[in-house]
Homo-oligomer: A and B are copies of this chain.
Amino acid sequence: MHLFSNILGVFVFDKNFNVVDKMLFSGIEDCKNKEKYIEELVAKHKEAISPDSSGLKKILLYFKDAKFKDEFYNKNIQLAKFDIKNSVRSDILLIQAISSIGEIDKSINILTKVLREWYALHNPEFSAACASHEKFAEEIVNKEKSELLNELNINMPDSIGADLQQEDLEPIRRLAHQICDLYQLRKSHFDYVSSVMDELCPNTKAVCDVLIGAKLIEHAGSLKRLSSMPASTIQVLGAEKALFRHMKTGAKMPKHGLIVNHPLISMAAEKMHGKIARALADKISIASKVDYFQGQFIGDRLRRELEERFG
């Protein structure tokens, strides 16, 4: 007696390869939980075993019959659809959200460049005095030229900016308004990424903060892939160009990739960077493994150890 299962159901064949018993799957969910059906049939036919290769050949010949064709075709499509539908895990959503933050940053930069050039025709003094893009856009939306100059202790007539009509200022204000909205959108996406990470990878988040953690996962492709990387790979993730230059030409090995923006590294002295990056990558590697296998929360301890050593 042989036991055989495929996408249609679970079958028991006798030694002449005729079907003696079967349980057909009604939908894809049954197929995904086929163990239950197999156990049931094994209990009924205790002598049923998996076929050897010559037996398998004969069983497959049985299913070659044209009457199964449509059913195989439809069930396989259903199975593929089911798998695609259920392939969306929260790290895919996380990667989309963090990549949208990257593109929003790009948009903000190119639009602010235009805004600064355009507004400088009217008020070059303020353009020069305000370094923050976000504050720049906000102030233009909310304040008149005279107010902005007052804050800089400059009299209106001393300004070398042109006196523009309201109708010429209106499009500039609208652009500034849009840039403020983009900053708002960035913040709300940031909060979303942060909340997804609370569920998905609290340890990684605790060790390397929201942005760096999310970018590491984005770069690796998934939390699973990040968790399977050695610490030395995580250390230079995002610095592939420098890494391959090092391997090809013997140039200096990169000390760090994406993690360079971590406060522990960016606030340390230059000569400590390599050492801290190595220790940090170690901890991230541990944290991501704990996250992937859904272990306990140890992120705060890992972070504290780093801070006590280098902070």
* A121 contact from B96, B113, B174, Cβ within 8 A: B96
Q: Taking the nearest CB of chain B, how far is it from the CB of A181, in angstroms?
A: 6
A161 and B85 within 8 A (CB): yes
A106 and B97 within 8 A (CB): no
Copies of this subunit: 2
A170 and B182 within 8 A (CB): no
8 A Cβ contacts from A115-171 to B: 115, 117-118, 121-122, 158-164, 167-168, 170-171
The majority secondary structure among interface residues of chain A is: helix
Any B CB within 8 A of the CB of A99 = yes
Given A170-B192, A188-B171, A192-B170, do A121 and B107 touch, yes or no (CB 8 Å)? no
Count of A interface residues, CB-CB < 8 Å = 46
Complex Cα distance A178/B183, Å? 11
Q: Taking the nearest CB of chain B, how far is it from the CB of A119, in angstroms?
A: 9
Any B CB within 8 A of the CB of A81 = yes
* A114 contact from B100, B114, B159, Cβ within 8 A: B100
Per-position binary interface string of chain A over residues 191-223, scored 1 when its CB falls under 8 Å from any chain B CB and 0 otherwise: 010010000000000000000000000000000
Q: Taking the nearest CB of chain B, how far is it from the CB of A186, in angstroms?
A: 10
Nearest B residue to A82 via CB reads B160
Complex Cα distance A193/B188, Å? 33
A81 and B160 within 8 A (CB): yes
Q: Which of A15-23, A86-94, A254-262 contacts B (4 or more CB under 8 A)?
A: A86-94
B174 and A185 within 8 A (CB): yes
Interface CB pairs A-B, < 8 A, 8: A84-B160, A93-B164, A97-B118, A106-B107, A107-B107, A174-B185, A178-B181, A178-B182
Could you tell me which A residues sit within 8 Å of B by CB distance?
Answer: 81, 84-88, 92-93, 96-97, 99-100, 103-104, 106-107, 110-111, 113-115, 117-118, 121-122, 158-164, 167-168, 170-171, 174-175, 178, 181-182, 185, 188-189, 192, 195
